[in-house]
Every structure is written in C-alpha cells, then in structure tokens.
Amino acid sequence: MATPYKVQLSVEDTGAVKFQQPTTESAAKASDLLQKNHDNYHIFFRKDGFHNHITHGLLTLYGLGAPASVLQRHYDTNASYQRPPGKVEEQIIQDMSDPDNFKKYLGKEKYYHDFLIFFEKEMEKKGWQDVVNEYVFAGDARADDMLVRMYAGFLHPLIHLGFGVEFNQPAIVAEALAQAAVHDAWIGDLLLATEQASKAQGPTDKTLPDLLSDIRKDKKLSEAARWEDANKVRDGVLQRAPQEMIKHAAQWSVSSTTLEEKTAEMINASVYFTAGAQHPPKQVKFDFYYMHCVNCSVFFPTFNAQTWLSSKAKVRLLTWKGYLDLAMYASRRSPELLIEEIVGFVPKDLEAGSSSWTGVFRRLFDFDDDGHAIKLGRAVRNGQVVCQKFEDEEWCKIKDWQWEKIGNMVVDSVEDTGQNWVRSAGFEEAWEGFEDRPRSTHL
C-alpha cells in the first residue's frame, strides 16, 4: 500500500495516457527505483536549481507500459549525477508546524529534506488530500504563497504534484510540496496581479490563441525579453512590460461551467505554440521552456477529476496555468507560430509503422535522456484524446492527424543531430549552431 513514506505502484496505477498495460514486474521495479530516489536524493541535483527528473521519467515510462529493463536503464542514466538530500534537523521540522516559523524556511533549497519529512508527518496525521488542501488551496496567505511556488521553476513543482495525484502516490505528493516550498515566489507578481486585474474587469470571451496573437502584435511586450536576460520572464517580461503582460493575460477567463472546455483549450494552445515555434530552414526542434508548458498540461484532466478538490481550486489552477503559458510565450520573443510546419512535416521513418503512436512511443522508450522527451510525447497524445470532442471550436488549432505528426516531430527532433532542444525559440541567437534541414523533411 502506498503511504507518505512508501512508493507502491500497482498495475491499476497506469496514469492518464493508455498505451501498453504495465506488468507486475514493471510495477515492482518502478516502485523500488522511485523509493530509492525518494530516500537517497535531493530534488535538485545542483544547488542552483537544476531539477531531479527521475520521478517524472520513471512514472511516464511506467504508465505507458515500458518494461522493467527500460525503467532500470533510465534510473541508472539519471541517478549518476544526483546528490544526497541533506541532513535533517528534527528541531526545524518541529518548528515548521508554527505558521509564522514555516515562512522562515521557504525558498531555501537546503531545507528540502526537512520539508519532505514535515509533509510526510502531516500526511500521516491528516491524510494527503487534506494536507494538499490545507497547504495549497486553503486561500489563506500561507496557501496562496505555496500555490504561487507550485508554478515556479518552469512549473516543476506542479508537474511533480500532478504525477503524485495521477499515480495515487502520497510520497510523491510530499516530494512535490517540499519542492514547492524551496522554490522562490517571484512569479506571484504576475499570477496574483493578473488574477486581481481579471476580477476587476470581469470575464471575456478571448481564447488563448487570440491572446497569443495579441501578444505577438504588442511590440513592447513581445520584445521585452532580451537575449542576455538570465531569466526572461522575471528579468525581461516582468521588468520591461509588466502591465502589458497583465493586461493580456487577464483577458483569459475560466469558470466552473467552462472548466472542461477551457482545459482542452489550454492543452491545445500549449501544443500549438510549442510545436509551431519552428525556424525554417533550421532543423525541427522544440523550445525547452515551451515544452514544460505542454508537459504540465497532461495533469489538468486528472486535477479536474479529483472529488476532494473544490471547484474553486480547479478553476484557479487552470486559470493560473493559462496566465503562465502566455507569459512563457512572450518571454521567448513571441515567435511566429507556423502551422504549416506541422501540416507539412514528413516523418523520417514511414516504414513498418514507425510513425504511428506505437512506433513513436517505442522509439522514445529507447531514447536516453532525463525524461523530457517521453513526457512530451505522452502529453501530445493526451492532447489528442482530450481535444477530440472540441475539434469544431475555433480555438482548436491542433486536430485529428496533426497530433500524431507532432509526436513524430518530437521523436525525430531529439534523435536528430545537435542539442535535443532549442532554448528561447523566438531569438535568432537560439538557432545558431543548428543545421539547415534536408528538403525532404517537409512537403
């Protein structure tokens, strides 16, 4: 049985995207490896905030039915550079129980292990769902601060929470809460201000594709980030065009009655701007930062299905995701989105079903990285399933056979020469060093 201290997957814990049924052997292997990661490693493999992705990669591979040997290889590849979680101080853990003292430890990576043990103990006493509601969705100052931190670090804490909820693993949820606690909170300057602006103006019928187009046309905003900015959201968008960013993002509205459709809209839009941000004639590559918007999108149908989460919490989770996606798009210089790059893409291997989803996933099982590629492939397939019923809506830019095309773009791009990802796709500088593509890659 899964507990706040123990990872225990069963063959029923298959996650949101169905491909191959996991076996009892793979369930045991994934549980063992996730437990080793939980017990032995920090959430950052470097002190400057580079994330440990072992949990993400293993659960994605496991849910898609990857064999135990693939899980072991992924773990071995990525465990080699992790670091220990750090020494635990019992007095600090006790101190965290006081809400005033809790604040003292936030945003400091050295307290990750202390936070992990603290949240495990809280879950043991109260149940993991009640702990998540208390510390993230209660609506008080502490919970709002933690919710903001969930969106920090290019959505990594929220992605981690999603995996814990999706696969019914309290220990993974504890990792997510501890991870959020040691992230910074500056993204709240965008999220909270946009939320207030949206309430003040009232709901609008603007869609995310509408707003992506508006942002690109707004030169002050679309050119706010500079190549030399260390963090292009914080140091670019929020320094040089904060009011413009808030004005546009505040026009995206979600309500309890539109939650399902707006979830599909968010998923579709994130795939649209991530796959469409190409730079012909350069190789097809996906933007590293945009990719996280897609990888996070997979969890929102799961969040929506949780009976223990209030409607208000679900609406807020999704609304903030839309705000951040728009800011992420602006932060990479708002590249032109080329749907023809998707429509005209020719997969490199059309033989023996290699370009079907079966072929895409099997190739991604074999691809050695930290899990980003298989997560992206799974999230694109999830988008196809979720958006299918909405294909007649004007906002639905990606539809039908285009989803499988994008799956092929993912695997072909990471198997291609050069870096796996382009970083900041709207900048000319980002594409330096990538090769020009062969003519045969597009119709």
pTM of the predicted protein model: 0.97
Q: What is the pLDDT of residue 339?
A: 98
pLDDT for residue 352: 53
pLDDT at 203: 94
Q: What is the pLDDT of residue 354?
A: 72
CA 383/CA 297 separation, integer angstroms: 8
Per-residue pLDDT in tens (0 to 9) along the chain, 443 residues? 999 999 999 999 999 999 999 999 999 999 999 999 999 999 999 877 799 999 999 999 999 999 999 999 999 999 999 999 989 999 999 999 999 999 999 999 999 999 999 999 999 999 999 999 999 999 999 999 999 999 999 999 999 999 999 999 999 999 999 999 999 999 999 999 999 999 999 999 999 999 999 999 999 999 999 999 999 999 999 999 999 999 999 999 999 999 999 999 999 999 999 999 999 999 999 999 999 999 999 999 999 999 999 999 999 999 999 999 999 999 999 999 999 999 999 998 776 567 899 999 999 999 999 999 999 999 999 999 999 999 999 999 999 999 999 999 999 999 999 999 999 999 999 999 999 988 666 76
